[in-house]
Amino acid sequence: MRFEEKVAGLRIKKHQGRETGEFLEDVKALADGEAYEYLLGEVDFCGAKIDLSLRPMIPRPETEFWIKQVIENIRDGESFFTIRALDLFSGSGNVSLAILKNIPESSVDMIEFDPKLKNQIEISILKNNIKKTRTRILTGDTWEGAVGMYDVITAVPPYVPPQMKDEVMQELHAEAPLSFFDKEDGYYYHKQVLSKAKDFLKEKGILYLEFDITQREKIEELAKEFGWTNYSFLKDPYGHEFVIMLVK
């Protein structure tokens, strides 16, 4: 989105079409490098309102693209009304909220490492009028707090190698580095997910795991290494494979 389009969006969506002093302050902040989405304060993600007031990772359109496919897959399944999902690396809660908003009576457990984002997700739950009894928000590392068996597991882990931090943060400096960077070579968290997901998936349950388009071959190698045989890939809007769908 061009700068002029972002300015117009701020004027219309946040300032009711008025060029007030606060609007001009937002324009200056935008010019100084603040993220457009943070200035808006929320974004739409698959019909759910995702609050950004505590500055979580901004939900990406590419992630929304494949989550729409997940929602369609759930709707086509036999357990449409009773789906139990687990969302790892929940961040703003965008993936969880999309499922909760679009799948009636579904329940979602969320695990996020950053403690402040529990409050962030709770704000969005209220904004979307979702019953708290359908959610469980946990602060922990990867699988910490996961209980029982799930129909669906989604994971958008940090997968940028640490050595690329300076280069990447030049472009994404408005967001917290914690959201992007892997502990090791870009595959640490993918391995954590692939190695244990079967322990938490029901029979014929599905794991959806996002990765960078440059990691596609290695992700398939890891899937085979951890004993997954029934899998396929989802493509982004540009035709690149960037999500692996694995069936138990």
* Residue 49 is assigned to a structural domain of this protein: no
- My answer on whether 32 and 84 are in the same domain is no
- My answer on whether 78 and 144 are in the same domain is yes
- My answer on whether 197 and 125 are in the same domain is yes
Note the pLDDT tens digit of each residue in 92-151: 999 999 999 999 889 999 999 999 999 999 999 999 999 999 999 999 999 999 999 999
- My answer on whether 97 and 14 are in the same domain is no
- My answer on whether 129 and 237 are in the same domain is yes
Enumerate the β-bridge partners of residue 164.
none
Strands (E), the chain: 42-45, 48-51, 84-88, 107-112, 135-139, 150-155, 201-210, 231-235, 241-247
Contact between residue 159 and residue 189 where contact means Cβ atoms under 8 Å apart? yes
* Residue 158 is assigned to a structural domain of this protein: yes
- My answer on whether 145 and 86 are in the same domain is yes
Q: pLDDT value at position 81?
A: 64
Note the pLDDT tens digit of each residue in 161-182: 766 656 666 666 666 766 777 6
203-208 mean pLDDT:
96
Q: pLDDT value at position 79?
A: 63
C-alpha 175/C-alpha 116 separation (Å) is 14
Q: pLDDT value at position 166?
A: 66
Q: pLDDT value at position 141?
A: 92
- My answer on whether 66 and 29 are in the same domain is no
Largest Cα span, the chain = 59
Enumerate the β-bridge partners of residue 138.
111
Sorting pLDDT into bands at 50, 70 and 90, what band is 227? very high
Q: pLDDT value at position 178?
A: 62
- My answer on whether 214 and 131 are in the same domain is yes
Range of the domain at 34: 1-40
Count of CA atoms in the C-beta half-sphere (13 A) of 233:
15
Sorting pLDDT into bands at 50, 70 and 90, what band is 186? confident
Provide the number of structural domains found in the chain: 2
Q: Cα separations (Å) of 65 from 37, 78, 105, 156?
A: 18, 23, 23, 13
Q: pLDDT value at position 105?
A: 83
* Residue 84 is assigned to a structural domain of this protein: yes
Contact between residue 35 and residue 58 where contact means Cβ atoms under 8 Å apart? yes
Q: pLDDT value at position 66?
A: 96
- My answer on whether 174 and 203 are in the same domain is yes
The enclosing domain of 135 has a CATH number of 3.40.50.150
Give this prediction's pTM: 0.92
Note the pLDDT tens digit of each residue in 44-94: 999 999 999 999 999 999 999 999 999 999 988 766 668 999 999 999 999
* Residue 83 is assigned to a structural domain of this protein: yes
Chain-centroid distance of CA 163 in Å reads: 23
Question: Position 16: which residue type?
Answer: Q
- My answer on whether 88 and 6 are in the same domain is no
